[in-house]
Every structure is written in C-alpha cells, then in structure tokens.
Amino acid sequence: MLVPVQALAKPAILPDACGDDAVKFDAKLEDGSPGLPALTAGKALIVFVETMPNQMSLQTTTRFGLDGAWVGATKSDSFFVVEVTPGDHNLCASMQSAPNRMKREFTQMASLTAEAGKVYYFQAAVNAIRGGGKMAIENLVFAQLSEADGKYRVKAWKFATSTPKK
C-alpha cells in the first residue's frame, strides 16, 4: 500500500507550553549587553539564554515559549528577558529549524513558580557531535541556571532581539 507523501508531511505537534509551530522568528544580535532591566514592582524576570559550542560553524535560532505562546528567540550565544507575573508558568525551548520528524529532540520544557522581585535564568544548550569531519546538532537541553551562571551569561553573551517573520 502506498501512502501519498502529503499524508506523511503533517505539522509538528508541540507541547502546550510552546506556541504554534508555524510562528518563526528573525533573531538579531546586538553589540554589547544592556544588562537586565529594572524589576517592576510585583513582577519577576525570566532570562532566556542560548549557548552553543564554540567549534560549531552553524547558527541556530531557538524560540522560547511561555504559557503557550512564543515570547522571542535567540541566535547562538545570546539572551533576552521577559517580565512575568508571580505564579506558575510553563516554559518551552525549541529549535525552529528542526525538521518535524526531529522536533522531539529539539524541543524541551520546564516549569517555574515565579516570585515577585526575583530573576530566573533558563538556558537552552545546543549540543553537537562531530562525524565525518563535520559538526552536527545532536540535541537541545533546556534547564534552569544558577544565579551566578545566569549573571555571567548576561555579561558575556550578546543581547538578542527578535521579530516574528511575516
């Protein structure tokens, strides 16, 4: 029995913490780090960071979701910041260029109970393997960073700005 190719090319199903897979971003890196914005009374900050091995010549764009909607994207070693209300939040990181058949390996989730006045750092680490003389992306690991590690990334990494593609 033959199955038409169109029947196999269905859209990726992403976790509820993410956003619509059809939404893609253009991410740009700014020179220098502006640091963190001042905290608004009664709010918390989430810093989304992407890291990539130095030896990789590829540039990836990673989207970050918050409670079911994409809030921005990074490219290579960069970060951006989102202000949130206190309470429970579901976070998502997903490499937007990953093929549908590999979305599971390149999409990760985390949960956070945010408290007013606090800053939380979450990193999407792109892991690579070398094979046949080339580097290839193996997977994405999304996890909360310590405050010290997060502060370092904000100082050392570039600030990312992103806009949804039209």
Q: Pull the structure tokens for residue 34.
A: 């502006």
Return the closest-CA partner of residue 78 out of 111, 112, 14, 126: 126
Q: How confident is the model at residue 138 (pLDDT cuts 50, 70, 90)?
A: confident
Cα–Cα distance measured from residue 28 to residue 47, given in angstroms and rounded to the nearest whole number: 17
Q: What per-residue confidence (pLDDT) applies to 76?
A: 84
> Which residues partner with 164 through β-bridges?
25
Rounded to whole angstroms, what are the CA distances from 162 to 33, 57, 75, 113, 155?
15, 21, 9, 26, 19
52: Cβ contacts below 8 Å, ≥ 6 apart: 58, 60, 76, 77, 125, 126, 128
* Strands 158-164, 78-84: pairing kind: parallel
- Gap between the Cα atoms of 111 and 63, Å rounded: 16
| Whole-prediction pTM | 0.86
Q: What would the pLDDT profile of 11-61 be if each residue is shown by its tens digit? A: 567 888 899 988 999 999 988 778 899 999 999 999 999 998 765 556 788
pLDDT score recorded for residue 98: 72
DSSP assignment letter at 141 = E
CATH number of 44-164: 2.60.40
Note the pLDDT tens digit of each residue in 95-130: 887 766 677 778 999 999 999 999 999 999 987 777
Q: What is the pLDDT of residue 93?
A: 95
Question: SS3 of 113, please?
Answer: strand
